[in-house]
Each structure stands twice: as structure tokens, then as C-alpha cells.
Chains A and B, each alone.
Chain A
Amino acid sequence: MSDDLQDLYQEVILDHNKRPRNRGRLDHATCDAEGYNPLCGDHVHVYLQVEDGRVTDIRFEGSGCAISTASASMMTESVKGKTLEEAKELFRSFHAFVTRDKVETDLGNGLGKLEVFSGVCQYPARVKCATLAWHTVQAALENRTDNVSTE
């Protein structure tokens, strides 16, 4: 495999693609959202259980490429247990990380395992695959906030 191909398809990504974590429906979800990429047909449905401002459980369903499947799987692992504010901050950092101009730019600090997506920024056509699940979880959390504010 050429180096940058190896950067994109790191072992961890291939593993999460083959064995996605937290896959399936969450029957007692407090909020959920669907994300769809009409250009390539990738689809993800994220379910969350939020208690006292903290994500206590999260699952996803959907179909897509290795990057989007692995990203959804790893997103659920990262977001589980976080407060809503922490989850949103993680989304912002991750988004900045995969859309940065240069691989060298050191933005990955604090992302931990999610840094395996460092190669994605070299593939502009694939950035949306990596961010789909994140945009979707963001939408789910924002809807919940809306519900709360109207009550």
C-alpha cells in the first residue's frame, strides 16, 4: 500500500469498518437524527440517550463506505459518557482536524484515537464521509436542546 493510502486506511479504521461498535437501534433514545449524503448515498441514523446533560448511551445504524462506517463507530465510542458541551467541542475539534489544509498542522491534540482520521484531509472527496456521523450527532443534540427550550 502506498504511504498516503495507508494513512487513509489505517488498521484501526479497517477494524471499525469490519466490526462497527455500538451498531443498532437504541430503543429508549431521548433524541436521534438521520444523516444522508445525497451525492454518494451514505446514510446514518444516530440514537442517543441523554441524562442530566450527559450522553449515557449512543448507537448508530446505516450504510456507507469504510471511512463513514468507521467514523460513525468511533464517534459513538468518543461521545459516550461526554457532557453535551464536551460532545460539541469534540465535534468542532474533529471537524477542524479533518478539514485542515496541511497534514502537518498540529490540531490533533486531544482527539486521541480519532487522530487515525488524519489522512482524510488529503482526500477532499472523502471529508464528507468522515464528518457525516458527526454532523448527524450534532443535529440530534441540537434538536434536543430545542425541545428542552420549548418546554
Chain B
Amino acid sequence: MSTIVTAMESTRDHTASAGYDVQRIRADFPILSRRVNGKPLVYLDNAATTQKPLAVMDAISRYYRQDNANIHRGVHELSVRATEAYEAARTRVQQFLGAARPEEIVFVRGATEGINLVAQSYGRPRLQQGDEVLITTMEHHSNIVPWQMVCEQTGARLRVVPISDAGEIDLDEYAALLGPRTRIVAVTHVSNALGTMNPVWAMIDLAHRQGAVVLVDGAQAVAHVSVDVAKLDCDFYVFSGHKIYGPTGVGVLYGRKELLDAMPPYQGGGDMIRSVSFEKTTYGDVPYKFEAGTPNISGGIGLAAALEYVQRIGLEAIAAWEHDLLAYATAALTAMPQVRIFGTAREKASVLSFVVEGVHPHDVGTILDREGIAVRAGHHCAQPVMQRFGVPATARASFGLYNTREEVDALVAAVRRVIEVFN
């Protein structure tokens, strides 16, 4: 049984509120006390990006105020301090993901860049005519388009695992699509449009039996469920800092060292070389050969502060709290006959996608905004999911560690208002 599923199950038995001081957590997020359109902000767009705690802002500010310098270069004190802080951030990520070594952690701009890096540096040199890349119907565009591009470049074929009406992958259908030509499987850990938590452990195991490597897109997962890449035995795992209370513009690619070692660099430039002459350049070791140019130093430091913040509260406690909110909101919206919920998988995290009968999601979004409630309205960069369910768009509420039942009540009241306005 998957360790992740087991972890989720164990949290179910907790009383979500026991020992979870949400008001104290909210006090760490200055933006949550502002008003929007004259109403207290109810921020339910966490799947798009999360708000930042003071700990993150302070870490970034402290770096710029006290230690700012370029890394891996100077002999001077500040460069040494900046380098130490950046490499400490890498070690923090390594520990957060349960990776065996810090060299397996590559800093990138976000999950999107991580996937593109793997598609181009792992996929492009290896894929041949007739090879297959397997993704699922519920992928975000960022886990579709890079694979389409590399398939076009190499003649490989992109295949897609279907999903059920509940928004779940059928493991038998998945296994049937895996074959000797499957080279790469790329799957989201948690669906951004439906909230489905996929059985990635089982999917990785099945893929490995066919000799395929697996990339897991963890953009929507890491803030909601404890991840251990060693236990999952995945080959690549990517996530974005800004979806886990860290800054934008920084993300992580985890890759198994032997795979990263065998991959050519993604971009050329400074900081990724061992020596350069006009005749011959030799590249540095992992992870540096994938980190050309001055990286997002403050971003890495801010991300480490965010991970520390999340770990201090504890992902089990966060998962239990958010699960309670999701169940509470799902029950309330399900009770409204004019509302249809998309994504009713047994294992879900954070996301509640819905439409109000006869009302376009943009109008829902505008009316909610007038009530100070921020949700996403649109196709969620997952148009194949929208096509699968036959809608152009949905409204999506997504919960984070600072949301409350009172905020869910505000959401439900605003949805009632939507129905009033349009009837």
C-alpha cells in the first residue's frame, strides 16, 4: 500500500481542530487581514498561488539587507554567506522530499521548467520513433505541452490515460497502456482542476516493471501531503515554491542521481561549467550543470523558509485541517441543487471545482470577488479535463493551511447570491 495513502488515512481519524491554532497561523500572513471590495479577504485561490508568511518575507529581506552577494564565486565574506544560505536551502529541500543526496535537488524557476528540463535533457536524446510517453487526461498544460514538443522532435508517440466520471485513474486501464515502448510516464500527484490524489506509488511501481521512468508533477501536492521520493521510488519529482507559501520564480526538480548524471545540460552559461575554452568546455557536476547563470538566490532562501514553516506546523496536521474544510465545503455545495461539483474522487486534496447551473463561471467569479472571495474561474490550464467533462470552464475554490470554516460559510453564502442574481 502506498505510504502516502496510508498517511492520509491516518489523518482522517484526527479531530481536525485538535491543537491546530488557525488564528495564530493566520496572524503569520499579513495579507489575510486586508479587505477587498470593502469585505474581509477570503482567499480561496491557493491552487493558483499561496500567500506568504512573515517568515518567508523576513528571510528574503534579511538576505538582501545583510548577505546579498553572488554565489559560488567570491572569496569575500558575503559571497560565502550567500553560498551557504543557498546550499542550506538545497539541503532543506532534500530533507523535505526525502531525497538521498542534496545533488539530486536542482533549483529551477518552477514545476513547468522542471518538466521542460526533463523532457529536453532526459527525453529528447533517448526517445526514438515508436517510443511512447504516457500522461493522463487530468494533467495541467505544463505536463502536456513539453511532452508534445519532445514527441514532435523525436517521433515518439504521446498516449493518454483516461479518467472516470469521478476524476480518477483506473489502474487497470493505466496498466493496459503501459508497454515495452513506454519510456516515460508523467503524472500529476494531485490534479489542479479536480483535486484528485493519484495513486502515484502504484503507478510508479507498474511503470518500473515495464522499464519506464516516471516524472511526478507535485505542484499541487507538496503543500497538502507529505512526500517521500525515496519511498515513492520516483525518478523525477517537480514542484513550485509559490504554491507552498514560498516566493514565485523558484521551484525544484528532484532527479535520481544516476539519471541526472547521464543527462546533458539544459542551458549553457556560467556556474554550470568545470572549464571553458573555445575548443572544449567541460560541464560541472550535478546539480550545477543544470543551473546555468546566477540563480534565484533569494527565492531559494525564501523557499527554504517556507518549507521550514510548513514542517513546523506539520503536513499531517495541515492535511487533516484542510480535509475537514474540503469535506465541509463539499457537503454544503452538494446540498445546493443548482451546483454541480467536478472531481469526486475518493482521495482528494484542497480543490473544489464546481459550476452553478445556467451561470458562467466568470460571472460566479465576479460576484464572489465583490464579496471579497478570491476563487479561480476558467479552464485552469487543463482544457482536456474541461473537454472530458463537457464544460468550457469551472469555478474553483482551493484551500490552504490558513483557511477556516467561516470562510467556507462565506463562500456558500456568496454562491447563494450568485443563484439569486441569475434567477
User: Interface residue count for B (Cβ, 8 Å)?
Assistant: 19
> Is B367's CB under 8 angstroms from A66's CB?
no
Asked if A64 CB lies within 8 Å of chain B CBs, one says yes
CA distance A129 to B378 in the complex (A): 13
CA distance A1 to B379 in the complex (A): 27
Q: List 14 A-B contacts (CB under 8 A).
A: A1-B417, A5-B367, A8-B366, A9-B363, A14-B421, A39-B378, A41-B386, A42-B362, A65-B361, A65-B362, A65-B363, A66-B363, A69-B360, A125-B366
CB-based nearest A residue for B367: A5
Asked if A63 CB lies within 8 Å of chain B CBs, one says yes
Shortest B370–chain A CB gap in Å is 5
Asked if A114 CB lies within 8 Å of chain B CBs, one says no
> Is A129's CB under 8 angstroms from B362's CB?
yes
State the B residues within 8 Å of A (CB).
Answer: 359-363, 366-367, 370, 377-379, 383, 386, 392-393, 417, 420-422
Shortest A125–chain B CB gap in Å is 7
Shortest A5–chain B CB gap in Å is 5
Shortest B168–chain A CB gap in Å is 25
- Secondary structure of the B side of the interface? helix
> Is B363's CB under 8 angstroms from A40's CB?
no
0 or 1 for each of A35-54: is its CB under 8 Å from B? (1 = yes): 00001111100000000000
> Is B360's CB under 8 angstroms from A66's CB?
yes
> Is A64's CB under 8 angstroms from B366's CB?
no
Chain A residues closer than 8 Å to B378, beta-carbon distance: 39-41
Contact of A2 among B363, B370, B379, B383 (CB under 8 A): B370
Shortest A131–chain B CB gap in Å is 14
* A5-B367, A63-B392 given; A41·B379 CB < 8 A: yes
CA distance A41 to B365 in the complex (A): 14
* A9-B421, A66-B422 given; A40·B362 CB < 8 A: yes
> Is B370's CB under 8 angstroms from A41's CB?
no
With A5-B421, A65-B360 already in contact, 19 other A-B pairs whose C-beta atoms are closer than 8 Å: A2-B370, A4-B370, A5-B367, A9-B363, A9-B421, A40-B362, A40-B377, A40-B378, A41-B378, A41-B379, A41-B392, A43-B392, A63-B392, A65-B361, A65-B362, A123-B366, A126-B362, A126-B366, A129-B362
CA distance A69 to B362 in the complex (A): 12
Chain B residues closer than 8 Å to A39, beta-carbon distance: 378
0 or 1 for each of A126-141: is its CB under 8 Å from B? (1 = yes): 1001000000000000
